[in-house]
Homo-oligomer: A and B are copies of this chain.
Amino acid sequence: MAETVKRVAILGAGMIGEVHRRAAILAGAQVLGVMASSPERSREVAEAWGVEQAYGSIEEVAESKADVVHICTPNASHVPYAVALMKAGKHVLCEKPLGVSLEDARQAAQVAEDAGVVNTIPFAYRFHPMVREMQARVQAEEFGTINLMHGSYLQDWLLNPKATSWRVDPKAGGPSRAFGDIGSHWCDLVEWVTGDRIARLVATTSITIKQRPAATAATFSAAEVDAPLIDVHTEDSALILFRTANDIAGSAVISQLSAGRKNRLWVEVDGMHQSAVFDQEQPEQLWIGSEAGAEILVRDPTRGSAEQRRLSLLPAGHPQGYAQCFENYVVDSYAAVDAYAGHGQAPHGLPNFADGARAAEICDAMLRSAASGEWVGVG
């Protein structure tokens, strides 16, 4: 629970806005108001949610009494809204991606640094307790020197050629789809866990389904749509090889056309003493391999690293999952606001706009390499 009651505004009333609202309430915040797609819609949502303010414009939000703003609007508005609000002194929790271009993302990160306010991005998988355990063990060199990083992030939500989503359209979702959307999570996780950085990479991408129906609504899930077919310009899958700042080799397979895979983010880090695997579809455990065999380490609030314990909200054997990740992200973002005000310290591992800009840099490098066929530098 945060030090003081946060007064928050929520921009966006879609599914993801609801997820933020739920986590804000659980974290003890007071939701002051909401801004939806139009002033009328803002008033309807404010009434449904039982909140006082219905904002008609970003200026109204900037002038409101909210301390903290959750930005859950379509991708293209993330950066202009975040910039305006940070300049007005608001703390911001901004949905990923941080804009739809590298320039946008870098600008937002720069403004965040200048403004000095709290700025966070939901790279939510960092908040799985067993990811924390993995990071703590890498940092303590329990696995030995890392010699390889590899894995994949596989989904099947766009396997149906008749399905589409606003994410397919570069204007709404950015020039990279599979990599920008889920590959960015994989890269953030592997860089954060290892403390190493992808220095250069080579990529190949595929657009397997050449045409899909035009997207007509901003739905979160892929829907079968009865609309005219249009050409697809964003990748269904992206594969990269990379070498890090420490010259470690790595590989990632990112796909939205892998049947039977729902959200399979798999990260393996191989050290000279032990290997470790985190699989997001089995987030309660870590596989740790050594020459003598393997260990299945289960989440347990009474064992392991300080961060595993801190983020464990339930006893061992009572599965946590995605909801707790997101709740932890919001609680930690609010704790950073407390720290800003002089109460306690900002928590460990909170992903911020610099991390958002970093994701944009890797994505840009991936697209450049896929186009040129050459190894390219990142950043």
Contacts and interface: CB of A to CB of B under 8 A. Distances in A.
Interface of A: 22, 25-26, 143, 147-148, 150, 152, 154-156, 159-161, 202-206, 208, 220-221, 236-237, 239-241, 243, 248-251, 253, 255, 257-264, 268, 270-275, 280-284, 287-298, 300, 302-303, 313-324, 373-375
A124 to B, nearest CB: 10
Given A260-B291, A318-B321, 5 more contacts: A147-B237, A206-B248, A240-B241, A257-B272, A260-B289
Contacts of A303: 292-293
B323 A322 contact: no
Contacts of A282: 282
B159 A236 contact: no
Contacts of A281: 284, 317, 319
Given A26-B26, A147-B237, A322-B314, A300 B262 contact: yes
A280 B318 CA distance: 8
B295 A243 contact: no
Contacts of A288: 260
A152 to B, nearest CB: 7
Contacts of A147: 206, 208, 236-237, 255, 257
B289 A259 contact: yes
Count this chain's copies in the assembly. 4
Nearest to A151: B253
B204 A316 contact: no
A320 B258 CA distance: 22
Given A241-B241, A293-B296, A298-B293, A259 B236 contact: no
B296 A148 contact: no
